[in-house]
Amino acid sequence: MPPFPPGPPGLLSGVTVLDLATVGPAARCTRILADYGAAVVKVGPVPGRGAEPIRPPSYAYSGSRWLSRLAIDLKDPEGRAAFLALAARADVVVESFRPGVVDRLGIGYEALRRANPRIILCSTTGYGQSGPRAGWAGHDINYLAVGGYLAASEPGCDGGPPMAGATIADAAGGGMHAALAVMAALIGRSGGGGGAHLDVSVADGVLWLTSLSVDEHLATGATVGFGHDLISGRYACYGTYQAADGAWLAVGAIEPRFYAELCRRIGCPQWVDHQLDDRVQAQVREDFRAAFGSRDRAAWIEALAPYDTCVSPVQDVAEVVADPQYAARGAFVRVMAPGGDGTAGGDGSPGFRQVGPLLAGMRPPEEPVALRDPSVSDAAGLLAEAGLADGEIAALERRGVVA
């Protein structure tokens, strides 16, 4: 099945993915696959038949850039058959139902494998297909909690675990985890192997993200958490400091030579030889805070960042999208909403910007990228590619089995 509509050429060109998810880690996974050139088909429920899915804002998940869509009633035998016909021509199916749901629907791995022995099924759930938490509902904060991430982070002002500023579990523990697993399965299959059923647990992905701390505890029995070591707030050389204008700076001067350079440039040479001296860390921090509080953030960045001090600004989202480094890297692309010609940022340019295909190996698209109306269905073309006759497709549409 060819890409419809076509995306940019990429490392995964020629790979077709059926995506049964709407939001969360699975949608993050297929966003990555699409930006690497895979043809991703969003398969949703038929409106009015069953529970309505979460519908994210039109700009979310890169505005469904390059994705095609259709709706199928998977509980209807003919709808199930139509989905399996699509799967017979596809390479990957990504789903995020509760464990066991795809089997009850008749589109589990064994059913898919009968239709296509080389199919890769990626089942993305919060806690995996097995274990005592397998049936639990959850979201990003829950997976960060059970995987040790929250407890290892700096406590909030009330002494409790913090709120993460990004969906780290969904994006990295789940989405990138799933995309990596899919790519590994595709490589394995290309070497003569068959298909695979990938059991992607977001909580497992978070455990991997915290594995440096976990492995230390397992090896030494140490109580690992915030303030335990060099990268978790124990020493003044690794932390955040407020500048005179109220803005913040991040300091990550781990290497002794970087730390020494930092001390000299902020006027604290007396602490050069005390980087890891626990006895004086409170005084070092106090002097660092006083030093950073004497000048505005921009002045400190100019004085420190280019000189091997490992200092950077703590930027809010508005600052990130105006950052010249990201601009130089082509991090954002301009897109055109369907039927819209609005402007973004008051610059008079048509459309608006969004985060583009920026991971290593992704190819930048020609701009502007035309986003498609998410209400438009590609059912007829996709089902025809899957081998269904025009009369069969028309009958399914009349019965409301596909839309």
Tokens of 166: 């990004």
In one-letter notation, the amino acid at residue 77 is: P
The count of other CB atoms within 10 Å of the CB of residue 7 is 24
Spatial distance between the Cα atoms of 3 and 13, rounded to a whole number of angstroms: 8
**Own/partner pairs for 204-207, CB < 8 Å, 24+ apart?**
204/128, 204/173, 204/177, 205/143, 205/147, 205/169, 205/172, 205/173, 205/174, 205/176, 205/177, 206/143, 206/144, 206/146, 206/147, 206/148, 206/149, 206/168, 206/169, 206/173, 207/147, 207/148
Q: Is there a contact between 363 and 37 (Cβ–Cβ < 8 Å)?
A: yes
DSSP 332: E
Q: Does residue 390 carry a catalytic annotation?
A: no
Tokens in use for 50? Answer: 């069953």
User: CA of 289: how far to CAs of 245, 285, 310, in Å?
Assistant: 13, 6, 16
Cβ neighbours around 29 below 10 Å, total: 31
Rounded CA separation 140/145 (Å): 9
Q: Give SS3 for 123.
A: strand
187 burial type by CB count under 10 A (0-12 exposed, 13-18 middle, 19+ buried): exposed
Name the catalytic one among 103, 139, 296, 390: 139
How is residue 179 written in tokens?
């995309």
139 is catalytic: yes
Given 73, 140, 170, 287, the catalytic residue: 170
Active site residues: 139, 170
